[in-house]
Chains A and B, each alone.
Chain A
Amino acid sequence: MTAIQAMNLTKRYGETVAVADLSFDVQPGQVTGFLGPNGAGKSTTMRMVLGLDHPSSGSVLIGGSPYRELGHPLRKVGALLDAKAVHGGRSARNHLLAIAQSNAIPAARVEAVLELVGLTQVAKRRIGGFSLGMSQRLGIAAALLGDPEILLFDEPVNGLDPDGILWIRTLMRELAAEGRTVFVSSHLMSEMAQTADHLVVIGKGRLITDTSVQEFIGRSSQAYVRVRSPRLAEVAELIRVGELHQDHLRVSGLEPLEIGTMTARAGLPLEELTLVRPSLESAYMELTKDSLEYTS
């Protein structure tokens, strides 16, 4: 069953369109990366999924119904939006207890999630004094309180040290392996390549691609050979399958050795013959370059 289903989701703020006609499905049992440059509309979309912001048009269902119609929603959906959005004067335990009580979740569960994220020792301390890493753990504890089958994380690794990043990455993989739905936003392709099974990529509020990570890697890391020569036009005529650019020829489907042999036989001099394998990051940059809000 589809866990999250966005249908023609649109959000306008006056003249500005934050999310435009966005449709996608998120499936259980895998980590789905929600990828896009800063300002692409990821957080706005997540807030609409969670019933916090009202879509200007379109709709989104979570487990088959609108979020606002879920009774005790935290038992079905857990989310971490902004780890610092907590009352700093409260202790970690009271913070979690208030959330648990609102959804009739037993108080024992508070101790369980504190233990799970490793905050038992500081449960009585005021949250205001927590580091970002501790706050992030507390936010994840809150998301896990209701033992939900659907989890949303908005940029969970932002500002974390390598230990914290690894911890969250492992946790998300485990949650998905248990059959849960994990929907996690990020603006870093490299991060998602290591964590996600599926990708929903957006830019300027619009869907760019909705694909499995494997497919994305296969499609975008297709290698080609870059050929440069003082007699480039003749080389292009000889190779035939190449794509002629300003100062070089881009050839897919032939090995450098084959190209070199052909040009040697024809007596054409070569200036460069390089196998180019674009990184995932550059493929992603290529994909989203038209939708960056600010470019340097």
Chain B
Amino acid sequence: MASRDVVHYDTPLQRVLRVLAVIFVVLYLIWTLLPFVIMFVSSFKDLLAAFKLPEVGDWMGIGVFFDFTPTYKHYATLFQENNFGRYIMNSLIAAGGSAVISVIFGSLAAYSLSRVDFRGKSDLFFWIISTRMAPVVAVMVPLFAIFRSLDLVGTLPGLILAYTTFNLPFAIWILKGFFDNVPYGIEEAQMVDGATRFQAFTSILPLVAPGIGAFIVLCVLFAWNDFLFAAIIGSGGAKTLPVATRELVQPQNIQWGAIMAAGVVTTAPMMLLGLVIRKYLVTGLTMGAVKE
């Protein structure tokens, strides 16, 4: 898929539109990035400095925002008093665990759905997708009842299971598209070369790696950012970062500094992950869609 040169001829209208487009992009960038900037900067300010604002209309006073002495005390509070190290681990285990389990079962199921014809296949496939159609909130109460009777509430395995329930159909759905695009001839060649069916399956996994990569990212993002499951099913023993951050809001005392620091701690890993696999993610998501 080589990019093509787009031939275009400027009219005055297009020039105006181009300027407008630039303005729009700049505003959009400010709109999306400013909260992160404020969060990041505020996490290094003590409370007094954080709430120092310039007068309304005083654009020259904007420097006030950056006039502070950096302090690391909020981060120290998080890790020393609030046990955030543990919550980071919980988040990592819950997100990573469900991603790994979903990929293993998802790729096996997607491969079967892609390669084998059996009775009721299309119904089965629709049913798998349809489990994602109901809003999560709608099934939360029954799910909680089931998890409670299985003693899974407040445990990491419980949380992993809950995330997997929602990630697995997604994995099957995405990966089936990728398997569909791998020519069956490659596995046939493998089998004639002397591979078992399972070896043939594993041999084409590198070809769906972009799909698996893309899925893992989406799956980790979903679990990492999730609040609802974590608050209801993970509460207590399996507290994750979003829930722990929420608990920094106490009736008498909203710990703004710690909340900002927790926001940075929660956001930074996902941003890094996004940067590292950005290229992968784009090829992954488009490769399944366009047949070459």
Real complex partners, A and B?
no
